[in-house]
Every structure is written in structure tokens, then in C-alpha cells.
Amino acid sequence: MSNENKSIHEFEVSLICEFFAHLERQGPGSAEITTKALSFIEGLGKEAKIADLGCGTGGQTMVLAQHTPGQITGIDLFPTFIDLFNKNAHQLKLEKRVKGIVGSMDQLPFQHEELDLIWSEGAIYNIGFERGLREWKEFLKPGGYVAVSEASWFTDERPQEIHDFWMDAYPGIDTIPNKMAQMQQAGYVPVASFILPVYCWTDFYSMHYKAQKVFLKNHAGDKAAEDFIANQRHEEKLYNKYKDFYGYAFYIGKKI
């Protein structure tokens, strides 16, 4: 396997964290898409408790906070991301309602049925879609919501090259109907699903260009850093070539 074909998980965590810390968002998405997904969720008042799992630096979390009056806790494994998350909340004067803490999505610090909403954009793959939905349900109140964006196939068949890439990167990828069925089987009423538009990906990759230049300058002569950027560029090429076959979809479910 060439270095550009390696899964991102094969690179040093410190390199991944450093690079993505330079980006406003750590995955494809937009403020418009966050608010669209939020529009399917009802009953979030001032007393609502919300968790954003795999929050990164909080690009989507701050949008949530600007459109909901409740308390939001962001959780991410990387302390660098959480430091930036809390700085962003302070700059937007949201620190009284929005707090980031270092933690893992498979060991959540919440009480049984404490949360009204669990949010996760482009991050549930770290634990797996089905496992995440089943384990997180414990922390949702009856009638509480889960909203996640997830890599998904748009067709039942696809070219071998992109199939092999995703089988290596994330074997849990599946079609949208299958993902919705998994949500229902996990004990949720499937409320909505929709595909993220292409601009969410192209804008995300556009953010990469400046960050890549800074990253390579800071790591001049570092083969691991160069391989990581080659990997990111290869991923972008694959998306541009095969975007009709896959992308992100948002899934919203309500706990029964």
C-alpha cells in the first residue's frame, strides 16, 4: 500500500491533531447544514442539556449554541481541540452555556437519561454508527434526540477503487436506507435523513490548502508529515472522482 493510500488512522495522532487544529471545522459540514439538521428537533428550551461528541474545535457547536438556549457540553479526545473550543466559546460570549471537556465518546460523563440531545458531526465513526447509537441511548431522556453525520454510500454498487478505499478506512460505511434501519433497530424513531451538498466537501478541502502549506513549512523534511499531506490530497482526488457514489448524510432519530 502506497503512503497516499494509507488510512488516516495509520498516522501519528499528534500529526493529525496539529493539522486539523488549523481548520475551523474538522470535517465536511456548514452552519447551514447544522441549522437544517437542528430544524428537525423539537422541545429544546433553556433547561435542555446537549452533548456534542467528537466536537473538535467547536465549529458546529457554536452554531448550535447560537440557535438553542440550552447548556452544551463538547467532548473530544484531543486536549488541543478542547483548548481551542473553549477559547472560541469565550470569544463568542457563550462560555456560560458552552463548555468543552477532554473525554472519550465510549466513556461519557453523563447520568442515565440526562441529555435532551446528542450531536455528532462526522465523528461517530470513531466508535461505529451502530455501537454509538446503542450505547449513547442510555444517556438520552425518553423523547430525546440523536443527530449525527456519517459517511454513506449513495448507490448499491460503486467502482472497486473507492469501495476498497472505504473498506480500509471505515468498513462501517453503508447505504442510507441501511443506516436508517440500523437507527430504528437501535431503538429510535428515524425522524429524518438528508445528504450533505457537495459544497460542504469542496469548502472543507479548500480550507486545507493554506493549512497544508503552513504544516509542511513547519515540518520541512519530515517524511511522516509529507506522507500525511499526500494522504489528504489523495482523499480529495478520490472525492472529486467518485462524489456521485458517496458522501456524508445526516441522520436524526428520536429515542422511543
Residues 6+ apart with CB under 8 A from 94: 62, 65, 66
Q: pLDDT at position 11, please? A: 60
* Domain assignment of residue 80, given as a range: 25-197+246-255
Burial 53-74 (b: 16+ CB within 10 A, else e): bbbbbbbbbbbbbeebebbbbb
Crossing angle for the helix pair 79-91 and 59-67, to the nearest 10 degrees: 40
Is residue 74 assigned to a domain?
A: yes
In this structure, are strands 115-121 and 188-195 parallel, antiparallel, or unpaired?
Answer: unpaired
* CATH number of the domain within which 41 lies: 3.40.50.150
Is residue 185 assigned to a domain?
A: yes
In this structure, are strands 115-121 and 98-102 parallel, antiparallel, or unpaired?
Answer: unpaired
Q: pLDDT at position 2, please? A: 46
Domains of the chain: total: 1
Q: Shortest CA distance to 25 belongs to which of 193, 198, 208?
A: 208
Is residue 203 assigned to a domain?
A: no
Is residue 168 assigned to a domain?
A: yes
Asked if 68 and 50 count as a contact pair (C-beta separation under 8 A), the reply is yes
Q: What is the rounded CA–CA span in Å between residue 166 and residue 21? A: 24
Burial 224-234 (b: 16+ CB within 10 A, else e): ebebbbebbeb
Q: Tell me whether residue 5 is exposed, middle or buried, using C-beta atoms within 10 angstroms of its C-beta: 0 to 12, 13 to 18, 19 or more.
A: middle
Q: pLDDT at position 175, please? A: 98
Asked if 144 and 47 count as a contact pair (C-beta separation under 8 A), the reply is no
Question: pLDDT 10s per residue in the chain (256 long)?
Answer: 444 554 444 567 888 899 999 898 999 999 999 999 999 999 999 999 999 999 999 999 999 999 999 999 999 999 999 999 999 999 999 999 999 999 999 999 999 999 999 999 999 999 999 999 999 999 999 999 999 999 999 999 999 999 999 999 999 999 999 999 999 999 999 999 999 999 999 999 999 998 999 999 999 999 999 999 999 999 999 999 999 999 999 999 999 9
Is residue 131 assigned to a domain?
A: yes
Q: What is the rounded CA–CA span in Å between residue 100 and residue 83? A: 8
The alpha carbon of 211 is separated from its chain's Cα centroid by a whole number of angstroms, namely 19
Is residue 136 assigned to a domain?
A: yes
Is residue 241 assigned to a domain?
A: no
Q: pLDDT at position 168, please? A: 93
Q: pLDDT at position 14, please? A: 87
Is residue 189 assigned to a domain?
A: yes
What is the pTM for the complete model shown?
A: 0.93
Asked if 79 and 102 count as a contact pair (C-beta separation under 8 A), the reply is yes
